[in-house]
Chains A and B, each alone.
Chain A
Amino acid sequence: MIKRIIVVTLVLFLVTMFGISKSLAASAEENYKWYCSQCHGLKGDGKGINATPDQPVNPKNHTDAKEMAKLSTSDVENVIRDGGAATSKSTMMPPWGKSMTDAEIKELVPYLSKLCNCKFK
């Protein structure tokens, strides 16, 4: 019984710690892999598991320098925070403003810039 209580407490503790560290200290790469890769792919090529043939739009290919360079830094921040509607794109791109902090969203911009090997306007 005591052993169980210890295990349960430990699990709860770790879960809490994981939760805290996830919300405070996740790096741009971790956030990208966790939230974005399900659609944009682990490499950012737009081929995540949600890019099924029956979806009406394809997730943007984040490695396409020509396409990505058309965006400005504030476009990128706005579309991550408020979803596709912010840049008149499909709402299949979801809003992440309540899932990540402003700082985390801003930190994704240089990460995306690295993926496309391009600069935003």
Chain B
Amino acid sequence: MKDFLLALICSMAITLIIAVNHSAAGQAEGKGIYDSKKCGDCHLTAGPNTDKTFAWLKNPKPIRQMEYNSIEKKNSGNHSKLSDKEAGDVTAYLMTLKSKDVAEGVIIDGKPNIQGKLVFEKKQCCYGCHSYPKSGKVSGGLSAPSLVDAGKRLQGDWIYAYLKNPKSLIPVKRMPTYAGILNDNDMKNVAQYVTTFK
């Protein structure tokens, strides 16, 4: 029952979605590992990103300070860890997955964006809940996933899609819905700005 609840809670949450379609060796093995390790018990679909995902799966450093959906319990950092081979295969498999909710090629990752910085720090205070790198120091709130190395982990296209239509990617969350509050350009700019965090 406890496992079931955990699966339920997690499946509401970490929607792992990939915007890149591309085939690589190890896909079938990757799917096998994904199924046999029961990644799908917690994840709705499969996980954001490319080589970035590979690095994380080998060394899954906590992204959230707190446990998933909790503001009371610390993240114990016990995410399953994969070997090089497994991480490579799973990443290859994850990269074949696509979401109809994520449009590709809208955001250029890693490109500086001053307007996006203004949205993040002034117009809205995204740092109220997210920690991020501010003049070389980690600054900000703890209730949300850390964005400190978001540029190594998330794609701009995914972030923009998440701001535009959050429920399609993460059905239940503590973050305010900004669609209808920020305009389209603000959402694009701030998505791009977040991909510069490395």
Contact = CB atoms under 8 A, between A and B. Distances in A.
Interface of A: 7, 11, 14-15, 18-19, 22, 34-35, 37-39, 42, 48-50, 52, 54-55, 83, 90-92, 94-99
A119 to B, nearest CB: 28
A91 B186 CA distance: 15
Contact of B125 (A7, A19, A54, A92): A92
A38 B143 contact: yes
A52 B140 contact: yes
23 contacts: A7-B4, A11-B8, A14-B8, A15-B12, A15-B171, A18-B172, A19-B12, A22-B172, A35-B176, A37-B71, A38-B71, A38-B143, A49-B66, A49-B141, A49-B142, A52-B142, A54-B137, A94-B124, A94-B128, A94-B176, A95-B181, A97-B181, A99-B177
Given A52-B141, A52-B142, A98 B171 contact: no
Given A11-B7, A39-B141, 8 more contacts: A19-B171, A37-B71, A42-B71, A52-B140, A91-B122, A95-B176, A96-B176, A98-B177
The residue in A15, A19, A50 that gathers the most chain B C-beta atoms within 10 A of its C-beta is: A50
